[in-house]
């Protein structure tokens, strides 16, 4: 693979990313409360391989070995999330000292290895106790989230490089509350719209509260974004692509950066539109220090409901997502063009592929190629003037891929779930060499 990429600034943030539920295991250890994903996994048929997060990668026990592995990759940053029910088992009130101690070990362990800690507060594992009172559909959960954010900042904030409030609010709202294929498994467009509103509101309220408390970490949010491309040039397909662009991108970006929901999406929602209280939209525009972008693919949109995704002829990953690095450059340029964005970080990018372990090696040339081409797409956006702060691979290691269970592997490190042995795949070795070359350029 050629390395034509370059000219990344010396202080560019290079990382690998994970999330708590997907790697930690120890689902009821040391006082941790259940999360909505613990409960969702127990529903028959919810998870492809009927698995759960009880053990996952046993990162809760193996964290020191894992941090050594991250350091050995030569990255300068690690993105992880805190399990809210591990640190505050009921989602309000009492804190769990052992849970907080765990994240303190992670943060101090990262700093000891010269790695920047980038923390996400909500990577989906809401305390079950809060779901019992309505979860994200209940406006009161926004206040519970503010308290949680303040507690984490009080304990860890002085050592964090960044705090992201939410990971991918679209996934929580739409996959969790409209499609119902992710926790908590609700199927209501109206509920989903209210949930998205409360996620954005809680983000803004948390930012304001954190700034008042005093914060040294950079503050932002992480969105999953994809350019929407009409399947054909027909007026119907183009109109559908515009609406999908509204649902996935503008629904989140417009309130965050312009203080208003997009009119076309509001009109499409009709009676399902969220209840908005005076001041809500104002709260959502709290200034951010960074915007996290998770990019996997573009979306091809058709007005024809029988259209099958992944049929453009482009190669697809094991998730069925088309490999389309040009879409990342396009997306980053669009963000710069349409919004007053702070520095952008690619907070997730990577691919699931069918890996084969042969003689202790994983020759994942498809993943290696995927990463190299997407890093080049970031470089291209930078050449065209986009202010990029960093890039993080999803994921450090194979892990619990939500409704797909352990069948889909996104890691640049292979995990043998029988032995919990970690093995660097070719993509990890390539990333390490690529980063080493960056340093000596
Ligand atoms: C992201 N979609 O999830 C998450 O942030 C990660 O936790 C996850 O492992 C990773 O991407 C890979 O899936 C997504 O259907 C899940 O569009 C689904 C979608 C997008 C992102």
- pLDDT, tens digit, for every residue of 63-116? 999 999 999 999 999 999 999 999 999 999 999 999 999 999 999 999 999 999
**pLDDT of 366 above 50:** yes
CA of 404 to the centre of ligand 1 (A): 11
Any atom of ligand 1 within 6 Å of the Cβ of 348:
yes
Cα distance between residue 186 and residue 178, in whole Å: 6
311 band by pLDDT with thresholds 50, 70 and 90:
confident
Residue 246 has a pLDDT of 99
54-68 average pLDDT score: 99
Active site residue 65: no
- The residue from 178, 348, 376, 401 that is catalytic is 348
Residue 5 has a pLDDT of 52
Cα distances from 431 to residues 15, 133, 295, in angstroms, run 10, 44, 18
328-339 average pLDDT score: 98
Any atom of ligand 1 within 6 Å of the Cβ of 125:
no
* pLDDT above 90 as % of the chain: 96
Cα distance between residue 291 and residue 309, in whole Å: 28
Helix (H) or strand (E) holding 218: strand 218-224
Residue 309 has a pLDDT of 79
SS3 per-residue string spanning 324-341: CCHHHHHHHHHHHHHCCC
- Shortest-distance atom of ligand 1 to CA 395: 9
Residue 1 has a pLDDT of 42
Any atom of ligand 1 within 6 Å of the Cβ of 399:
no
Predicted model pTM: 0.98
CA of 309 to the centre of ligand 1 (A): 16
For 128-176, the DSSP string reads HHHHTTTGGGSTHHHHHHHHHHHHHHHHHGGG-SEEEEEE-HHIIIIIH
Any atom of ligand 1 within 6 Å of the Cβ of 167:
yes
Contact 180, 191 (CB under 8 A): no
**pLDDT of 411 above 90:** yes
45 band by pLDDT with thresholds 50, 70 and 90:
very high
Residue 6 has a pLDDT of 63
Query: Length of the chain in residues, anyone?
Result: 441
Q: Is the complex ipTM higher than 0.85? A: yes
pLDDT in tens, 248-291: 999 999 999 999 999 999 999 999 999 999 999 999 999 999 99
For 343-410, the DSSP string reads -EEEEE--------EETTEE--HHHHHHHHHHHHHHHHHHHTT--EEEEEEE-SB----GGGTTSS--
Residue 396 has a pLDDT of 99
**Helix, coil or strand: residue 421:** strand
Residue 439 has a pLDDT of 85
Q: Average per-residue pLDDT in the chain? A: 97
Provide the CA 38 distance to its chain's centre, in angstroms: 19
**pLDDT of 2 above 60:** no
**pLDDT of 197 above 80:** yes
Q: What domains are there in the chain, each with its CATH number?
A: 13-440 (3.20.20.80)
Ligand 1 pocket: which of 171, 249, 349, 392 to mutate (most atoms within 8 A of CB): 171
Q: 7 or 24, which is more confident? A: 24
**pLDDT of 3 above 50:** no
- Shortest-distance atom of ligand 1 to CA 352: 12
pLDDT in tens, 118-175: 999 999 999 999 999 999 999 999 999 999 999 999 999 999 999 999 999 999 999 9
Q: Give per-residue burial for 349-371: e unless 16+ CB within 10 Å, then b.
A: bbbbbebeeeeeebebebbbbbb
Residue 271 has a pLDDT of 98
178 band by pLDDT with thresholds 50, 70 and 90:
very high
């Amino acid at each position: 693979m050629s390395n034509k990429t370059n000219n990344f600034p010396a202080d560019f943030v290079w990382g690998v990313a994970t999330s708590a539920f997907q790697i930690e295991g120890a689902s009821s250890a040391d006082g941790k409360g259940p999360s909505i994903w613990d409960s969702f996994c127990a529903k028959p048929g919810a998870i492809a391989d009927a698995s759960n997060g009880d053990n996952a990668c046993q990162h809760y026990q193996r964290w020191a070995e894992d941090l050594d592995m991250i350091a050995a990759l030569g990255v300068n940053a690690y993105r992880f999330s805190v399990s809210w029910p591990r640190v505050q088992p009921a989602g309000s009130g009492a804190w769990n000292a052992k849970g907080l101690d765990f994240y303190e070990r992670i943060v101090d362990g990262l700093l000891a290895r010269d790695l920047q800690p980038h923390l996400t507060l909500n990577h989906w594992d809401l305390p079950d106790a809060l779901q019992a009172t309505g979860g994200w559909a209940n406006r009161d959960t926004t206040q519970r989230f503010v308290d949680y954010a303040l507690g984490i900042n009080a304990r860890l904030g002085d050592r964090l490089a960044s705090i992201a409030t939410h990971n991918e609010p679209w996934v929580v709202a739409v996959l969790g509350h409209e499609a119902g294929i992710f926790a908590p498994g609700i199927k209501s467009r109206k509920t989903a719209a209210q949930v998205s509103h409360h996620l954005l509101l809680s983000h803004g309220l948390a930012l304001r509260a954190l700034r008042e408390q005093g914060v040294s970490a950079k503050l932002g949010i992480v969105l999953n974004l994809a350019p929407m491309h009409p399947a054909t040039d027909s007026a119907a397909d183009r109109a559908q692509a515009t609406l999908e662009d509204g649902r996935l991108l503008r629904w989140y970006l417009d309130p965050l950066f312009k203080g208003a929901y997009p009119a076309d999406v509001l009109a499409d929602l009709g009676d399902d539109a969220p209840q908005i209280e005076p001041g809500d939209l104002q709260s959502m525009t709290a200034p951010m220090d960074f915007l996290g972008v998770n990019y996997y693919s573009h979306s091809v949109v058709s007005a024809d409901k029988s259209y099958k995704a992944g049929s453009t002829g482009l190669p697809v990953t094991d998730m069925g997502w088309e490999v389309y690095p040009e879409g990342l450059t396009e997306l980053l340029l669009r963000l710069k063009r349409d919004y007053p964005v702070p520095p952008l970080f690619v907070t997730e990018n990577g691919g699931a592929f069918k890996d084969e372990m042969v003689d202790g090696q994983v020759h994942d040339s498809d993943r290696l190629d995927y990463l190299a081409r997407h890093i080049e797409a970031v470089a291209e956006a930078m050449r065209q003037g986009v202010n990029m702060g960093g890039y993080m691979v999803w994921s450090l290691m194979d892990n619990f891929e939500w409704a797909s269970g352990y069948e889909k592997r996104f890691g640049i490190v292979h995990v043998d779930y029988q032995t919990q042995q970690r093995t660097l795949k070719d993509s990890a070795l390539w990333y390490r060499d690529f980063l080493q070359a960056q340093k000596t350029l």
